[in-house]
Amino acid sequence: MLLHIDSSADTTADSVTRQLTETFARTWRTAHGSTGDHRHRDLSAEPVPPITSAYTTLGRRVEREGFVPPAKVPALIESAAERHEWELTLPLVTELLGADTVLLGVPMYNFSVPAPLKAWIDRVTFPGALTDPDTGESLLRHTRVVAVMARGGGYGPGTLREHLDFQMPYLKAYFGNLGVPPEHLHLVAAELTRVDVLPQLAGLEDLAAASLTRARATLTELAAA
């Protein structure tokens, strides 16, 4: 199953991440035909509610019990607020665990990831929910993650703004900590995507076009694999 998640606040055709995730999804559907289950979640159109104190209280109680599978969490719930938080969380966790490939559209906002995506991350990372209770191994160890990033400027190795990139290191750290192997994590970036509107990027049009072309080609290859 392909779990396709967009997080750009721009829902128009101008969104580079939406263009690129659609390229991947279209190629994936062609490669998998009727056997492929493609689920699209738009975090801008349907935001995931931020976690509350009831979520953290329930989470701490679960942590004290060790690795508790989702099926056993309801027995630990002690209030209506905790039950509500769990009802918001479980469908997202189930959806994530059911995916063979997770496709994320991640524009860079203020050097990092968009708030709607962070809210999804905070909620699905419920204590123990992504861990095998019998072995302690990650339930995402066989999951492929493809993160499609768009950056208005240039943040690649050797650029002046490389040290301001908290987007790619964050995604590497987060999914690595969840147990997604490095060979299953693909971070694909299109750079200089604001070249058409930012005067300071004038003259870099060819570099921007080449970066977008490389990103599209990489995603097409990954989707067809």
Tell me which H or E stretch contains 14. none
Close Cβ partners of 12 (under 8 Å, ≥ 6 residues apart): none
Contact by Cβ (8 Å): 133, 77: no
Cβ–Cβ under 8 Å, residues 179 and 141: yes
CA atoms of 165 and 113, how far apart (whole Å): 10
Determine the 3-state secondary structure of 44 from DSSP: coil
User: Cα angle vertex 80, ends 74, 83, to 5°?
Assistant: 30
Contact partners, residue 72, CB within 8 Å, separation at least 6 = none
The pLDDT score that the predictor gives to residue 34 is: 65
Q: In angstroms, how far is CA 180 from the centroid of its own chain? A: 12
Under-50 pLDDT residues of the chain: none
pLDDT for 138-179, tens place per residue? 999 999 999 999 999 998 888 889 999 999 999 999 999 999
Residues 146, 104: Cα–Cα separation, whole Å: 6
| Claim: this prediction has a pTM higher than 0.85 | yes
Provide long-range contacts, Cβ within 8 A and 24+ apart, for 162-169: 164/111, 165/108, 165/111, 166/111, 166/112, 167/106, 167/108, 167/111, 167/112, 167/113
Total length of the chain: 225
Tokens 């997202």 correspond to: 92
| Dist CA 203 CA 208 (whole Å) | 10
**Residue among 106, 119, 178, 176 at smallest CA distance from 147:** 106
All domains of the chain in start order, with CATH: 2-224 (3.40.50.360)
User: How many Å apart are CA 121 and CA 173, to the nearest integer?
Assistant: 13
Chain position carrying tokens 């606040």: 9
Instruction: State whether the Cα torsion 49-53-56-58 is positive or negative.
Output: negative
Q: What is the torsional sign of CA 148, 107, 3, 133?
A: positive
- What is the maximum span of the chain, computed from C-alpha positions, in angstroms? 61
